[in-house]
A and B are shown apart, each in its own frame.
Chain A
Amino acid sequence: MFKQLTSGLLLGLFLASPVFSGTAADDIQVMDPWAREVPPGLTTSAGFLTLHNKGSKEHKLVAAESPATGTVELHTHINDNGVMRMRPVKDIPVAAGGKTELKPGGYHLMLMMLKKPLKSGEKMPITLQFEDGSKKEIQAEVRHFSMEKGMKHMKMDH
Chain B
Amino acid sequence: MKPLSWFLLALFLMAADAQAWSLFSGSDKEERFPGMGGDFTLRSADGPVSLKDFRGKLVLLYFGYTSCPDVCPTSLGALSSALKKLPDKDMAQIQPLFISVDPDRDDVNKLKDYARYFHPRMIGATADLPYLEDLAKRYGAFFRKVPVEDSNIGYAVDHSSTIYVVNRDGKLVDMIQHGGSPRRILEHIRKALQED
Interface set of A (CB-CB < 8 Å, partner B): 36, 38-42, 44-46, 70-71, 73, 75, 77, 79-80, 82-88, 104-105, 108, 110-113, 145-146, 148, 150-151, 154, 157-158
B residues near A75, Cβ cutoff 8 Å: 69, 151
Interface string of B49-86 (1 = CB under 8 A from A): 00000000000000000111111011011101100000
With A42-B114, A86-B156, A151-B182 as contacts: A105 and B70 at CB distance below 8 Å: yes
B residues near A104, Cβ cutoff 8 Å: 70-71, 74
Measured CB to CB, the nearest residue on chain B to A41 is B113
Interface SS of B by simple majority: mixed
Q: List 11 A-B contacts (CB under 8 A).
A: A39-B118, A44-B67, A82-B161, A82-B178, A86-B68, A86-B71, A88-B150, A110-B69, A111-B69, A145-B73, A145-B77
Q: What distance in Å separates the Cβ of A44 from its nearest Cβ neighbour in chain B?
A: 5
Query: Which 8 pairs between the two chains have the least Cβ-Cβ distance?
Result: A145-B77, A39-B117, A157-B181, A46-B69, A88-B151, A85-B158, A46-B70, A104-B74
Q: Is the CB of B74 within 8 A of A146?
A: no
Bound CA span A77–B74, Å: 13
B93 near A: Cβ within 8 Å? no
Q: What distance in Å separates the Cβ of A110 from its nearest Cβ neighbour in chain B?
A: 6
Q: Is the CB of A154 within 8 A of B182?
A: yes
User: Which residue of A42, A83, A108, A112 is within 8 Å of B160 (Cβ)?
Assistant: A83
Q: Is the CB of B152 within 8 A of A84?
A: no
Q: A46-B69, A73-B152, A105-B179 are in contact. List 13 more A-B contacts (CB 8 A).
A: A38-B117, A41-B110, A83-B159, A84-B161, A86-B68, A87-B148, A88-B150, A105-B178, A108-B69, A145-B118, A146-B80, A151-B78, A158-B184
B residues near A151, Cβ cutoff 8 Å: 77-78, 81, 181-182
B residues near A105, Cβ cutoff 8 Å: 70-71, 74, 178-179
User: Which residue of A39, A45, A108, A110 is within 8 Å of B153 (Cβ)?
Assistant: A110
Measured CB to CB, the nearest residue on chain B to A73 is B151
B residues near A154, Cβ cutoff 8 Å: 181-183
How many residues of B sit at the interface, in one of the four size bands? 35 or more
Q: Is the CB of A84 within 8 A of B160?
A: yes
Q: Is the CB of A150 within 8 A of B110?
A: no
Interface SS of A by simple majority: strand
Bound CA span A16–B117, Å: 56
B residues near A45, Cβ cutoff 8 Å: 69
A residues near B161, Cβ cutoff 8 Å: 82, 84
With A71-B152, A84-B159 as contacts: A40 and B113 at CB distance below 8 Å: yes
Bound CA span A27–B39, Å: 57
With A46-B69, A87-B148 as contacts: A157 and B184 at CB distance below 8 Å: yes
Q: Is the CB of B150 within 8 A of A82?
A: no
Q: Is the CB of A44 within 8 A of B69?
A: yes
The residues in B between 75 and 131 inclusive whose CB is less than 8 angstroms from any CB of A are 76-78, 80-81, 110, 113-114, 116-118
User: Which residue of B69, B114, B142, B179 is within 8 Å of A83 (Cβ)?
Assistant: B142
A residues near B116, Cβ cutoff 8 Å: 39
A residues near B76, Cβ cutoff 8 Å: 145
B19 near A: Cβ within 8 Å? no
B residues near A146, Cβ cutoff 8 Å: 77, 80-81
